[in-house]
Homo-oligomer: A and B are copies of this chain.
Amino acid sequence: MPFLCPDSSSFLFGLKRLADCSAINPMHQVPAIVDGRFKLFESHAILIYICSAFPGVANHWYPSDLSKRAKIHSVLDWHHSNLRRGSAGLVFNIVLAHRDSHHSYPQAVNQAEEILIRSLSKLENFWLKDGRFLVGSSQPSIADISLVCEIMQLELLSEMECNRILSPYKKVVNWIEDTKKATAPHFDEVHDFLFKAQKRIRERMTTEFRKNEMKSKL
């Protein structure tokens, strides 16, 4: 089975690794794949295509049962306007906008955090209420990979912030660990880039914090 991680910062799969996919995706975004002459982008579409087009992918990743498959489509669709918007919005406005000198508005940060908290609460109380994995499943699906990878972006915030946001959601925290275990050792492998970025960002944060502390003492 090809292991997939649809997180845009760390996309690894069995077809081709793309450092720059603008020639493949006219939207200038990752992930994108090339399979022969066929080009495809959008992480969920890619996950579904790989599960459908390649033999040997275990059924639990994208069940052939229509009701189970429909529930997976439902959570993947929900993800776009909820967890993704909250998590990516928060990381963009706190970490990336600052780094890349883009505008970041407090209102945008608050709105993203509000969407994220509401989404984590729905994950805890609805999507994970019936099983270890999403939509009541005992084994992971492509939805677990996609949504856990979205949450993993929060690792770019400070450790304190990341814990403050996630720790109230016990089922979510356990589910992240279960997904990591179910996909080991690939999970850490594809998040290597993220953890390297985390190290740089947290070091910069500490330096800035110390500088400001020194200034306030003087």
Contact = CB atoms under 8 A, between A and B. Distances in A.
A45 B27 contact: no
Nearest to A85: B81
B52 A74 contact: no
Given A38-B67, A66-B49, A122-B27, A77 B74 contact: no
Contact of A48 (B53, B73, B107): B73
Report the copy number of this chain in the oligomer: 2
Nearest to A40: B70
Given A41-B74, A105-B107, 16 more contacts: A27-B78, A27-B122, A27-B126, A38-B67, A40-B74, A42-B78, A45-B73, A45-B74, A45-B76, A45-B77, A49-B70, A49-B73, A52-B69, A52-B70, A53-B66, A81-B85
Interface of A: 26-27, 38, 40-45, 48-49, 52-53, 66-67, 69-71, 73-74, 76-78, 80-81, 84-85, 105, 107, 122, 126
Shortest beta-carbon contacts, A-B, top 3: A80-B80, A45-B73, A42-B77
